[in-house]
Amino acid sequence: MELIKSARFVRMIWSVLLLVLLFFLSLWYLPIFRLSELNIVGNRKADINEIYYVLDEPIGKPLILLRFQPLQAKLIKTAWIAEAKISYTLPNKMEIRITEREIMAYIPYHGNYLAISNDGIALEISTQLPASGPVILLTGIELPFLGVGDRIPADTDIQRVKLLIDQMSKSFKSLVAEIKLTDARYITIVSVDNYRIQIQGNEVSTEQLNSMRTIILLMREKSMKGTITLQEGQPVFIPD
């Protein structure tokens, strides 16, 4: 009796294993389980052709081979893609939701302009600055040779600038034309109409920057140019 039960149990195990094997073989060989539709959402700057190239032309491949972790790792190595979330819909659909990097500033670069993100990635190289929208030019940084998608070395002053820009409100950013790194201690912000803000180190708050913006607007009404500095934590206007 025990032998009969044991034989039935073994046959049951082999049947389950066979079903599992048939299931995976169907995922591999049946055309219905090969990727036929890829939906990409959120890409404004990331080129669709580059995405397909990075994914090694996935259309027509068995869905079982398109594992999300390796695909995500490939996608976030491209310049514009900061995050990629991948989901599947059986039997043959895949969706990729992309979060793109934003341009933090432009750096003069071998006669062109290099757009960089706030995490220090080289996004694109252009011959001129954009004609519209908030554009911050960052000067005073020496860069090695970089290609699009490369990370700017950590020993540059990008982190100092990021900390400063993170404190800027949207309305303050709209006034900024250039950020100059004059030396290891000072950062100079130049407005679109040539007012200057001099900051020592990175010790400046959003509230202080907004107070400086208010001073610029007041001085603009009076047609007075000058420089704003922080003295004992308070913005002070120094006329030219």
Range name among 129-133, 146-150, 178-182 with the lowest pLDDT average: 129-133
Which of 18-25's residues contact partners 24+ apart within 8 Å by CB, and which partners?
24/64
Total number of domains constituting the chain: 2
How distant is the alpha carbon of residue 68 from its chain centre?
20
Averaged over 27-32, what is the pLDDT? 61
Averaged over 23-33, what is the pLDDT? 60
pTM: 0.80
**Which has the higher per-residue pLDDT, 214 or 232?**
214
- Domain of 11, CATH number, reads 3.10.20.310
Range name among 23-37, 59-73, 156-170, 192-206 with the lowest pLDDT average: 23-37
Does residue 189 contact residue 179 with C-beta atoms inside 8 Å? yes
Same-domain check for residues 128 and 67: no
- Domain of 231, CATH number, reads 3.40.50.10960
Average pLDDT, the chain: 86
Range name among 93-97, 132-136, 154-158, 173-177 with the lowest pLDDT average: 154-158
Same-domain check for residues 25 and 76: yes
Does residue 219 contact residue 194 with C-beta atoms inside 8 Å? no
Averaged over 204-209, what is the pLDDT? 92
Domain residue limits at 149: 103-239
Same-domain check for residues 152 and 233: yes
Same-domain check for residues 61 and 121: no
Does residue 237 contact residue 212 with C-beta atoms inside 8 Å? no
Same-domain check for residues 110 and 158: yes
